């Protein structure tokens, strides 16, 4: 596969706009906390590294990935934000919950983005096992939280460019 062993969080070849003017929400699922905490650290540090002010980053926890959408909705309704980053990790189990949660979250996050006309970033790992998740939360495939933060900055900048 083309992306095998590639660091998917490598944005070094692209220009990332300054995040200094933007306000970000981060919603983090408590399920698989070892993974989601690592995603959060990656996302937060990336926002700071690209100029975001700590006072402009609003972080809230929700129980599981299924609740990320409600969390993002509440943040967009109550805080003046330029983008929301949703971070979660759904690991395949023995039952069909995996499919229901992944499908529900992916679709609902898109709906919240459209409802508020704001970027809502899908930073949810959907993996077969814990090792695949670790590989993408600061392991050999980079940190998807970092990638989600850069996507949030780029989309906030696009919105500013087009909306003024």
Nearest residue (CB) to ligand RBF, 48 versus 104 = 104
The closest alpha carbon to 124, from 63, 20, 35, belongs to 35
Which residues have CB under 8 Å from 15's CB, separation 6+? none
Nearest residue (CB) to ligand RBF, 35 versus 155 = 35
Dihedral angle, C-alpha 113, 149, 74, 35, nearest 10 °: 120
Among 48, 74, 91, 102, binds ligand RBF (CB under 6 A): 91
141 is catalytic: no
Among 7, 17, 31, 60, binds ligand RBF (CB under 6 A): 31
- 33 interacts with ligand RBF by CB under 6 A: no
| CB 88 to ligand RBF: min, Å | 5
Q: Is residue 64 within 8 Å of residue 88, measured between CB atoms?
A: yes
Q: How would you write 108-159 as a 3-class SS string?
A: HHHHHHHHHCCCEEEEEEEECCHHHHHHCEEECCEEHHHHHHHHHHHHHHHH
**Which of these is catalytic: 13, 80, 97, 141?**
97
Site track for ligand RBF across 63-82, x = CB under 6 A: xxxxx---------------
Active site (catalytic) residues = 97
Q: Which residues bind ligand RBF (CB under 6 A)?
A: 29, 31-32, 63-67, 88-91, 93, 95, 97, 101
């Amino acid at each position: 596969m083309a992306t095998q062993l590639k660091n998917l969080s490598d944005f070094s070849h692209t220009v990332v706009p300054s995040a200094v003017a933007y306000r970000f929400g981060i919603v983090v699922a408590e399920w698989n906390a070892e993974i989601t905490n690592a995603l959060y650290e990656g996302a937060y540090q990336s926002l700071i590294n690209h100029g975001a002010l700590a006072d402009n980053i609003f972080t809230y926890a929700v129980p599981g990935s299924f609740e990320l959408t409600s969390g993002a909705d509440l943040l967009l309704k109550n805080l003046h934000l330029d983008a929301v980053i949703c971070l979660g990790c759904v690991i395949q189990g023995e039952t069909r919950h995996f499919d229901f949660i992944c499908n529900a979250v992916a679709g609902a996050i898109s709906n919240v983005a459209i409802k508020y006309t704001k970027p809502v970033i899908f930073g949810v790992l959907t993996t077969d096992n814990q090792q695949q998740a670790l590989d993408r939360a600061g392991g050999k495939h980079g940190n998807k939280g970092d990638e989600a933060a850069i996507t949030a900055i780029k989309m906030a900048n696009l919105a500013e460019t087009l909306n003024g």
